[in-house]
A and B are shown apart, each in its own frame.
Chain A
């Protein structure tokens, strides 16, 4: 059994004299009857090896066994396997689902890590060593000390144009992305622009086409030349891929039809007033007799950062860094946004 590099106990290893002794030494941390961090050490090592391979070949999908987890497939089983394989007892773990720490599924995943891996948890992005997220990259700039695990439902961007994994693996092998380009071109012909909302097809290190998971287009530029490591893990599909620090990440687009992010013209967060964050709209019924009358309000999607902004409206996304003016995703256009119908 491998020694946990970050283990805080005296020996850091498991007694092997007898089964009872082994179980006894495992009881010290985590959940009784289960190995530290739920998965057995061999499985965690296999997952880490797949992650290392994924780091070595940025954007390439590496198959791994993907064990059944006590969460349902499609609910973050890939992400939690990646997280549990990396976590040690001294790590601080943050889990967000659709931008929110307090979302039910995020709470459930955090609970699993707490009970089995005995880690500290946080909602503060800047305090986390490891962040597991579904469909968002936090608003605050991630640093080279941090790792981001994104949950992935569909690991292959080409799935949209061909359902066959065998055919798509061949295309990746040949760097043959013609079918995706044709798809984007047909988009432009049909709609005047590319109508892909999230899961935007993205080139990694000018070699592999990657599905960046269903993060909004807003978050895709944050992956380009980032300081942090991003691991993308799909449980149901049994694939892991990665964007290592300082890797070129470029969304596919045409010269005359550039990549665009979501826009929130003339909108700001109703709670903190932010205009440079990803907003989601919340409709509430007006207290009138007219049942069909709604009021739509916009709110920051990153609930943890929104809370900080409510205390300090001028807080920058790179407030915790020594450098200033760090590029981290787009700024919201708050001027001359005509023609928006809502």
Chain B
């Protein structure tokens, strides 16, 4: 057969893999270490962990290195690895106010209990290429800071608690189930419950979550939220000690959390704010905010716009699904294409023959080997 492009053996696949690996090591430069990626390209590893649904900074750095910086590919590696791991315990639920926040802004209020914490951000800098970085500048610009002795980090009251105490915030409906679903163990069927929606959004692809969230703001939706707060910080991971039965903190995870309120005026006798929530592994504020918008908009019962339809949002938002299916178009399709050619030609010839005479002929049947092909 002449279709060389699609016929290949294991050796050719291995060669292609080796060529891909060569791209990374071909240069004269030193090999990038996993520690360097973890330490200096933290946003990349954060995105891979968030979309991979596995909090493991070192593995994420390895995945980023292996994927040559492709975040979805890195998330793919993490998910495929995650699916081989035994899940031996569940953590205790964590109150977000247990977070040790390194950054916290509350756009809804000028001042909030605990104060605004700008933290490390480039939000208010001018985006100018810093040519000084080309040669490297390993000095710590905060070295000369004169800081007072730090006490224990204080717990920050959630801004939404302020609204909730006044009855302005719609209390979430009581969950239908005792245990939240795990959408990696049980596939989503629609209509999906909110715990499933939040899980799927939390693992959603950053660009997709941002784009769909933006669509609701841009005019294809009714949700224009006010952010109660956006926080970045470390949350404790607690499990029940197998012997003492008490909760113990085993590690911490860096997360980004976002909460928004959306005015809902429909209930005239009791106008309240609806509530949207976003949480992602690592630092990724735009994804957390996009998720918040999508959580709020999928709770609307109208579903008049794409971002308000939970089925649409969940079907579209997963990076691994869209990545795989978009790229599968590169696989050979000549069987189905031959089938399409057959239909197009048959319809064209029918149209041509109908130009002359409008005689209707029954189509041939599958069991009739002498049927003609008009």
Provide the main secondary structure of the chain A interface.
loop
How many Å lie between the Cα of A79 and that of B175 in the bound state? 35
Contact (Cβ within 8 A) B82 A191: no
- A214 in contact with B336 given A74-B324, A103-B8 (CB within 8 Å): yes
Smallest distance from the beta carbon of A290 to chain B beta carbons, Å? 20
Question: Is there contact, CB below 8 Å, between A238 and B187?
Answer: yes
Inter-chain contact B83/A74, CB cutoff 8 Å: no
Which residues on the B side are within 8 Å of A265 (C-beta)?
A: 372-373
Is the Cβ of A257 less than 8 Å from the Cβ of B373? no
B144 at the interface (CB under 8 A from A): no
Residues of A within 8 A of B348 (CB): 341
Quick one: which of A103-162 are within 8 Å of B by CB? 103-105, 107-108, 111, 134-136, 153
Q: Are B363 and A341 in contact (CB under 8 A)?
A: no
Q: B342: which of A65, A163, A263, A271 is its contact (CB, 8 Å)?
A: A263
Contact of B1 among A35, A218, A271 (CB under 8 A): A271
In the assembled complex, A64 has its CB within 8 A of some CB on chain B? yes
Among B92-100, B273-281, B350-358, which stretch is in contact with chain A? B350-358
Q: Once bound together, how far apart are the Cα atoms of A118 and B317, in whole Å?
A: 36
> Are B366 and A216 in contact, CB atoms less than 8 angstroms apart?
no
Q: Give the distance in Å from the alpha carbon of A163 to the alpha carbon of B313 in the complex.
A: 12
Q: Is the CB of A278 within 8 A of B335?
A: yes
- Indicate whether A169 reaches chain B with its CB closer than 8 angstroms: yes
Could you say which residues of chain B place their CB within 8 Å of the CB of A316?
none
Q: Is B121 an interface residue (CB 8 A)?
A: no
Report B158-204 residues with CB < 8 Å from chain A CB: 184-191
B335→A67 contact, CB < 8 A: no
Tell whether, in the assembled complex, residue A216 and residue B338 are in contact, meaning their CB atoms are under 8 Å apart. yes
Residues of B within 8 A of A297 (CB): 2
> Is the CB of B311 closer than 8 A to any CB of chain A?
yes
Tell me whether B363 and A279 are in contact (CB under 8 A): no
B9 to chain A, nearest CB (A): 6
Distance of A257 Cα from B354 Cα, bound (Å): 16
- Tell yes or no: A318 within 8 A of B by CB: no
How far, in Å, is A337 (CB) from chain B's closest CB? 5
Q: What B residues does A216 contact at CB under 8 A? A: 335-336, 338-339
Assess the B6–A103 pair: CB atoms within 8 A.
yes
Taking a contact as CB atoms closer than 8 A, the residue among A64, A271, A306, A339 that contacts B374 in the complex is A339
Establish whether residues A97 and B80, one from each chain, have CB atoms under 8 Å apart when the complex forms: no
Which residues of the other chain, A, contact B345 by a CB distance below 8 angstroms? 340-342
B311–A236 contact, CB under 8 A? Answer: no
The residues of B that contact A238 with a CB separation of less than 8 Å are: 187-188
Rounded to whole Å, the gap between the CB of A23 and the closest CB of chain B is: 12
Count of chain A residues near B, Cβ 8 A: 89
A247 in the interface, Cβ–Cβ < 8 Å?
A: no
Q: Quick check: B320 and A73 within 8 Å, CB to CB?
A: yes
A262 touching B338, Cβ below 8 Å: yes
Interface residues of A in 1-47 (CB under 8 A from B): 34-35, 38-40, 43
User: Interface-forming stretch among A171-179, A204-212, A327-335?
Assistant: A327-335
Given contacts A65-B186, A73-B325, A337-B373, contact A98 B335 (CB under 8 A): yes
Interface residues of A in 227-271 (CB under 8 A from B): 236, 238-239, 251, 256-263, 265, 271
Q: Would B84 and A40 count as touching, CB distance under 8 A?
A: yes
Residue contact A166 to B311, C-beta cutoff 8 Å? yes
Whether the Cβ atoms of A198 and B335 lie closer than 8 Å is yes
A326 to chain B, nearest CB (A): 14
Does A280 have its Cβ within 8 Å of any Cβ on chain B? yes
Minimal Cβ-Cβ distance residue in A for B345: A341
Contacts A74-B325, A196-B343, A260-B366; is A303 near B1 (CB within 8 Å)?
Answer: yes
A contact residues around B338 at 8 Å (CB)? 216, 262, 278-281, 301
In angstroms, Cα B332 to Cα A104, docked, is 9
Contacts A102-B8, A301-B335: A339 and B328 contacting too (C-beta < 8 A)? no
Q: B14 to nearest A CB, angstroms?
A: 9
Give which listed residue, A136, A153, A278, contacts B325 with CB less than 8 A: A153
Report if B251 contacts A (CB, 8 A).
no
By a CB distance below 8 angstroms, the chain A residues around B83 are 39, 43, 67-69
Q: Does B362 contact A (CB under 8 A)?
A: yes
A336-B328 contact in complex given A73-B321, A98-B6, A198-B339, C-beta closer than 8 Å: no
Q: Contact at A339–B353, with CB atoms within 8 Å?
A: yes
Are A75 and B324 in contact (CB-based, < 8 A)?
A: yes
Contact residue among A67, A99, A105, A282 (Cβ-Cβ distance under 8 Å from B2): A282
> Is B331 in contact with chain A by the CB < 8 A criterion?
yes
Bound CA span A166–B346, Å = 35
Q: Are B189 and A65 in contact (CB under 8 A)?
A: no
Chain B: minimal CB distance from A1 (Å): 11
A5 to chain B, nearest CB (A): 23
A288 at the interface (CB under 8 A from B): no
Q: A192-B347, A192-B351 are in contact. Are A256 and B6 (CB under 8 A)?
A: no
Q: Is A103 a contact of B332 with CB atoms below 8 Å?
A: yes
Residue of B nearest to A327 (CB): B367
B366 to A338, Cβ gap below 8 A?
no
**New A-B contacts (7) at CB < 8 Å, excluding given A72-B323, A192-B347:** A43-B83, A63-B187, A75-B324, A100-B332, A215-B335, A221-B367, A341-B348
What are 5 A-B residue pairs whose CB atoms fall within 8 Å in the complex? A43-B83, A98-B331, A165-B190, A262-B339, A339-B373
By Cβ-Cβ distance, the 9 closest A-B pairs, closest first, are A73-B324, A238-B187, A74-B328, A72-B324, A68-B79, A74-B325, A197-B339, A166-B190, A258-B365
Chain A residues near B (Cβ < 8 Å): 34-35, 38-40, 43, 63-70, 72-75, 77, 97-100, 102-105, 107-108, 111, 134-136, 153, 163-166, 169, 191-193, 195-198, 214-218, 221, 236, 238-239, 251, 256-263, 265, 271, 278-282, 284, 297, 299, 301, 303, 306, 330-333, 335-342
Q: Which residues of B are at the interface with A, using a C-beta cutoff of 8 A?
A: 1-3, 6-10, 12-13, 76, 79-80, 82-84, 86, 184-191, 311-312, 315, 320-321, 323-328, 331-336, 338-343, 345-354, 362-367, 369-374
